[in-house]
Structure 1
């Protein structure tokens, strides 16, 4: 879904028509309404004019990027201002792209596609493990801090088999719904999957050290059932704990 924030009704309708064959669109007449929509419908991307009444595109972009609930949403700024300084200002406040008016329709479509694909690759990088996500998320400081904080909290509660999504949300300071949405967007995992997979990553680490037996490792990472641990591990890694252990010898 693309949120279009533009006070010029004709231009707003035109952009919506251009994007309609490829994306679902929602229109907002200014930055203030755009913020309200962004915080309720959570679009995949925002395309905003810069010069608008009540709240301009730069202020909208700053608020979007400084709110942990919306900081992951890419923002494209559209403006007739065409100086290098204007573009630098737009990008320095967190805009993901800056397109000068008048613009070619194809350019806007390609830019939206690229940003959505970039976010998709980011979540896939996290899901694949190996630390690749840290490089790709480097420019998304608030999102990186959120993931790092969530990881620290889960690790701190590793032995607590009753640690839940509600527990994680409470410690982070987000509602369960907002936490789920953020983690799903950034990591391609639900909040419950994030907790479970973090436990399983720790299990892999413990297996590599070889200091504990397999049946001890499951309990050490918060699984109260050896059967469930084995099933979860095989689904996540593709190997049973025994097979994984053999592969590391």
Structure 2
């Protein structure tokens, strides 16, 4: 590859010449369209993503220049990309010209934005092509915290050590491909609840079917529309939040105990948790440690999973169920406060009343009276 920089008296001229297969003249205008991929690559493994040239044209156009692609005219094989940028700034509008102070302030504003925590969730993007990974990150980082990985094996380690709300992954990757990566996520109780969006080419029908069978939450074909990807992320995050709300106490736990039917990637774990809770919440000796043992996870693992799914610690989750079940019994008015306390696993009425008041803002007796009115 040869790079030449010069000027023709009116423009700064940058030319990049390679010794590859050259370009398809008939489709040369499409080279700068987003996601367009040329057909002259020697191998499918060397296909690009169709983002780089589109981005180059956008930057060049912003500066009043042009970019063009031709085949070499020196008798050798290869392509030549030429950028022409007008010298000076007379071709620009005054509003397009920034002084040094403006530039410094803009940079500082951008740095401050990057330091601000996300309000919407944390997203992992996994693609062996750094260009496409960075493109997705740049497009979504205004609303989410986005972390990119170019190796699925490194991404697995990060998932085990940190917290992510959604994973966006390519399918065709060296080392660990997207389907294997998906299987690893969905087969591990620590990560099985994380929604996964897979990206693949339209021709990879078998991969798409296999991915859906393995638990992919969404599939987008390349070239994808970034607005569609963003909408998929919003929808999946909304589903996660609704699931958390179902178990967080935002709805009455009387609907949760015995009756709740969990759907989605947390189905197996939450069914086990609810089965154990339903069978044991009346036992005063039933606590977080006992729940962890019966579910088959360590206390720390269960704590992390419950926090991810419900937004509550395991202790808070268990307490909420007992409190809401107690509230239901008090509303029915068939047994007294002491009996209610024993019915939900408290062998000390005073302690029960203290916890109940902290949860509902009134004593069990007051709550029972309000329920009768």
- Is 1:46 the counterpart of 2:167? The answer is yes
- Is 1:222 the counterpart of 2:342? The answer is no
- Normalized against structure 1, the TM-score is what? 0.85
- Is 1:180 the counterpart of 2:303? The answer is yes
Q: Deviations 1:52-71 (Å, cap 9, x if unpaired)? A: 11111112112211211111
More helix by share: 1
Aligned-partner Cα distance in 2 for 1:48–1:180: 27
From 180, 184, 187, the equivalent of 1:59 is 180
Q: Tell me the secondary structure at the aligned position of residue 189 of structure 2.
A: coil
- State the structure with bigger RCO (CA 8 A, min sep 6), 1 or 2: 1
Unaligned runs of 5+ in 1: none
More strand by share: 2
- Normalized against structure 2, the TM-score is what? 0.59
Q: Tell me the secondary structure at the aligned position of residue 76 of structure 1.
A: strand
Aligned-partner Cα distance in 1 for 2:352–2:288: 18
- Is 1:152 the counterpart of 2:275? The answer is yes
Aligned-partner Cα distance in 2 for 1:96–1:82: 19
Alpha-carbon distance change, 114 to 57 in structure 1, aligned in 2, over 3 angstroms: same
Unaligned runs of 5+ in 2: 1-121
Alpha-carbon distance change, 103 to 10 in structure 1, aligned in 2, over 3 angstroms: same
Aligned-partner Cα distance in 2 for 1:68–1:57: 19
Q: Deviations 1:103-162 (Å, cap 9, x if unpaired)? A: 122222221122111100111122313249945x3233xx22322322333344435434
Contact 2:179 2:207 in 1 (8 A): no
- Written as runs of structure 1 = structure 2, the 5 A alignment for 1:190-209 is 190-207=313-330
Root mean square deviation, CA, Å: 2.6
- Written as runs of structure 1 = structure 2, the 5 A alignment for 1:161-180 is 161-180=284-303
Q: Tell me the secondary structure at the aligned position of residue 77 of structure 1.
A: strand
Aligned-partner Cα distance in 2 for 1:27–1:54: 17
- Is 1:113 the counterpart of 2:234? The answer is yes
Whose radius of gyration is greater, 1 or 2?
2
Contact 2:171 2:207 in 1 (8 A): no
Q: Deviations 1:195-238 (Å, cap 9, x if unpaired)? A: 11222244245446655321122133222432332233244456
How many residue pairs were aligned? 246
Alpha-carbon distance change, 122 to 24 in structure 1, aligned in 2, over 3 angstroms: same
Residue aligning to 2:243:
122
Aligned-partner Cα distance in 1 for 2:345–2:190: 29
